Amino acid sequence: MIHAWRSAWQSWRERTALARRVIPDVLWRRTLKRFAFLPREGEREARLRRMTSLFLDRKEYTGAHGLVVTDDIAVAIAAQACLPVLELGLERYDGFVGIVVHPGQARAHRQHEDESGVWHEYEEVVSGEALEGGPVMLSWRDVRGAGASASRGYNVVIHEFAHVLDMADGQTDGVPLLPPGLPRARWVETITAEFERFTQAVDAGVETALDPYGAQAPEELFAVASEAFFVSPELLLGEHPQLYELLRDFYRQDPEAALRGTASPAAP
Ligand SMILES: [Zn+2]
């Protein structure tokens, strides 16, 4: 009984949230046009739109350095953030609420202790950052350019939200909270082997389809590979077929097949 009551309450809560956060048709169509890697039709597109409304209702945006967060900015970020969890559920993002939007890249303060116990403090220029428990920081200039940069497999929103998925088990280590049916051993084995291969290629100066930043750490490879998986899947499939399959089984989506399915000569 309690369960039935709770699910009725949840669906009421979702209905009221959807009513509060209706995305006007014109704005939604403009968003899909700007970011052509988003599903543009059918059931997936309808689900993304619904999830985007719920995301807008659950998250809090703040503009930094005088940036005013317009509806265009809020929807652009929300729709791209929802794409990776379209099949996993928005609950995956329950661990944080705040999203801070900077006009451009931002300086992040860094501290780390080296092997001899000396502390180093420095500033790093970043396009985005995800902290455990929030907030997620994003550069609007990079978010806005995601349509154009998709052919290079670059997407700052998906990168940072892949880190959010990675942190969900309490550790940022390139192993997200895995769904049942995807064994941890398979994940670790694949990510480790792919990371080794990728690092060797980057060190040897080989031009890689994925962003060389992925060679920093396994968690960065997961984030960088997730970007390409969603916005330029053929790049990832061509260079890292096993990693593509792993992400396909994790995200429960097959963007490359979806792309082939809609790439008919009759398409506009
Ligand atoms: Zn990263």
CATH number at residue 29: 3.40.390.10
- Confidence class for position 96, pLDDT limits 50, 70, 90: very high
Which of 49, 41, 60, 40 has its CA nearest to residue 18?
49
Residue 171 scores a pLDDT above 80: yes
Residue 6: its pLDDT value, please?
Answer: 72
Domain that holds residue 185: 20-262
Residue 118 Cα to ligand 1 midpoint, Å, equals: 24
Mean pLDDT of 132-142: 94
Which of 99, 89, 244 has its CA nearest to residue 168?
89
Residue 105 Cα to ligand 1 midpoint, Å, equals: 14
In a domain, 137, yes or no: yes
In a domain, 3, yes or no: no
- Confidence class for position 262, pLDDT limits 50, 70, 90: low
Residue 133: CB atoms within 10 Å: 9
In a domain, 210, yes or no: yes
- Confidence class for position 139, pLDDT limits 50, 70, 90: very high
Please tell me the distance from the alpha carbon of residue 61 to that of residue 49, in angstroms, as a whole number.
18
Contacts of 212 (CB under 8 A, 6+ apart): 202
Residue 151, amino acid? S
In a domain, 267, yes or no: no
Mean pLDDT of 223-247: 97
On the question of a cis peptide bond just before residue 135, with omega within 30 degrees of 0, the verdict is yes
Please tell me the distance from the alpha carbon of residue 258 to that of residue 78, in angstroms, as a whole number.
21
Mean pLDDT of the chain: 92
Cα dihedral sign, 194-197-202-206: negative
State the total domains in the chain: 1
Residue 220 Cα to ligand 1 midpoint, Å, equals: 5
Residue 121 Cα to ligand 1 midpoint, Å, equals: 19
Residue 15 Cα to ligand 1 midpoint, Å, equals: 35
Mean pLDDT of 7-16: 83
Q: What pLDDT digit, counting tens, does each position of 104-123 carry?
A: 998 888 888 888 888 988 88
Residue 80: its pLDDT value, please?
Answer: 98
Residue 215 Cα to ligand 1 midpoint, Å, equals: 11
Least confident of 126-135, 195-204, 212-221, 244-253: 126-135
Least confident of 13-17, 95-99, 159-163: 13-17
Residue 14 Cα to ligand 1 midpoint, Å, equals: 32
Residue 163 Cα to ligand 1 midpoint, Å, equals: 7
Mean pLDDT of 22-51: 96
- Which residue do the tokens 């895995």 mark? 178
Residue 2: its pLDDT value, please?
Answer: 60
Residues with CB under 5 A from ligand 1 (ion): 220, 223
In a domain, 170, yes or no: yes
Please tell me the distance from the alpha carbon of residue 233 to that of residue 188, in angstroms, as a whole number.
21
Residue 12: its pLDDT value, please?
Answer: 84
Mean pLDDT of 32-53: 96
Residue 263 Cα to ligand 1 midpoint, Å, equals: 31
Residue 7 Cα to ligand 1 midpoint, Å, equals: 36
Residue 267 Cα to ligand 1 midpoint, Å, equals: 35
In a domain, 6, yes or no: no
Mean pLDDT of 226-235: 97
In a domain, 10, yes or no: no
Residue 254 Cα to ligand 1 midpoint, Å, equals: 23
Residue 63 Cα to ligand 1 midpoint, Å, equals: 21
pTM of the predicted protein model: 0.91
Residue 232 scores a pLDDT above 50: yes
Residue 53, amino acid? S
Residue 264 Cα to ligand 1 midpoint, Å, equals: 35
In a domain, 268, yes or no: no
